[in-house]
Structure 1
Amino acid sequence: MNKSLNEKLIDLINDIAENVFLVQFVISTIGLVINVPHLLILLHNSMRTSSTNSIMIGVAICDSITLSQNVYDRVQGYWFYGSPNSCMNQNNYWHMYSLLIGDFLQTVFERASFWLGAFLALIRLVIMKKAGTTLKISEPLYGYLLILFLVCLSFAHSLYFNRGYSMAQWDTWKPEETCTGYPANYSEPAVTRDFAGNEILILKRYLMINGVSRILVSVFYPVLTIMLIFVIRKSTKSKALDSRNYEERHRTCRLILVMSIFYVIASAPAGFLEYVALFVT
């Protein structure tokens, strides 16, 4: 009886995982299609005039890389390597190595994107509060330097954990006799990720820092957003604005609020789960 229930539970979990897999693929594909033209617009010379626009370019680039990796991973895992195939080495070197590089790039640019969003709100807030004065942080170069700094910092953090991985052969793969296109007695190595060193200790440190990073973003971003919305609303009341500028600033408030909600949804649960993982690894 218990065995039957366990098998049903496993089947249910596999069905849910497969549906989530497809949903993530669809959402990532749509996000990538929308993000690419957005990035192309931001890259126009007329748009590269302020640090906030520079940071938005950085966010768009980071998101494009993250979404591309998500799409690639889902395509590989679902259509090419999702089901057993005796005529294909599903643990070949280049496939496993591409997954390792993809995971590394995804963590680097996803983390950088979160922090760029938070700094975008912070810089926008400072510029709005100092309206009428020219600030150094409003120059495009400042935005590019901030992008470089955060990407390098995120790169170093991801490298701290991923540098321990290497590809190690664990078996030798041979095609079945029914497989065509292979020479006689053909074989190739089947590899897997191998971690050199104390993986548990390094993983715990990595997860702790990553969890703190996500939680800080999920706390700072809403606070900065609320402060920025108050400043924008105050500016609409204290200055004589035409209806077009008035409506534009209110649209900005709504956009910032929506971004804040999605940033919290994306970062807070993952940060919490990474802290939970510290106690089970």
Structure 2
Amino acid sequence: MSKELTTVTIHGTELPIKEYQGERVVTLKEIDAVHRRPEGTARKRFHDNRKHFIKGTDYFMVKCSEVRPFFGQTPPNGFNPNADVTLITESGYLMLVKSFTDDLAWDVQRQLVNSYFRVRQTQPQAAELGKLVEQLAVVAASMAQAVSLFATAMQNLEAVTQLRRASKSQSIRGFVEDCQHPDMTNLLSNILSERETTTEAWRASYHPGPRKKVVSRPPAASGQLRIETFPAEVRQAVDEMMEQMMEEQALNFSEIARYCNRVGCMISSPSVRRYYDKYFNR
């Protein structure tokens, strides 16, 4: 039972708000007061038709000691705490005043139902609506975060796609210069710097020795392009590169193929590998 005391004015009569077991209730004396009927009228109507009222639905029968402190009433001298108090619910009130048909009765009924009994029913709905609004706010925030993460993922995917295209077109350095992602730019710059440093170090360590006598190789079959068919100076350089790579245990057939292609002798990496297997890998 609620202990908060507020009042509602019904046709000029102040009616304290009372709740029992979650429902708003009124006393028989208050019904007489708001309808301006002689005291005892509502009680007589109730007792005359009591068989039609359902206890716990249309009315509650409670002890004075249980309800009076909550209604803000001070028990008088000689107060009997065990006396019964009849509390009428909305359904019981509507049944009780069926015989009140004067104009005042109709007006009071409308005000009492709309301003007293049914206001209690809308309060839980307002609380549920507030909770729903809070839940929607949480969902909206989660959706905004998901959209942000999706946008970031799409940016990263675009960056990876550009990197793959740049790798295929051998223009990684240009991609890094045009990249709009600072973190990825720094990472790729470091990778390229290390790669270029390693390549330059290898080139700096390569010192062709004195020209050696070119080993006589069997002629290539008709229609086939092999290192054996290259000019003597090219074959000499290839042999020296092979020997140095073998010493450093860093064979790189692609590097040798690129050297041959730069000097105008077109060859593939597998062909260089076959040359190595045939003359060096023994």
Aligning the two structures, in what range does the TM-score lie when normalised by the shorter sequence? under 0.3
State the structure with more CA Rg.
Answer: 2
Considering Cα pairs closer than 8 Å and 6+ residues apart, tell me whether 1 or 2 has the greater RCO. 1
TM-score (norm 1): 0.17
Q: Which has the higher helix share?
A: 1
Q: TM-score, normalised by structure 2?
A: 0.17
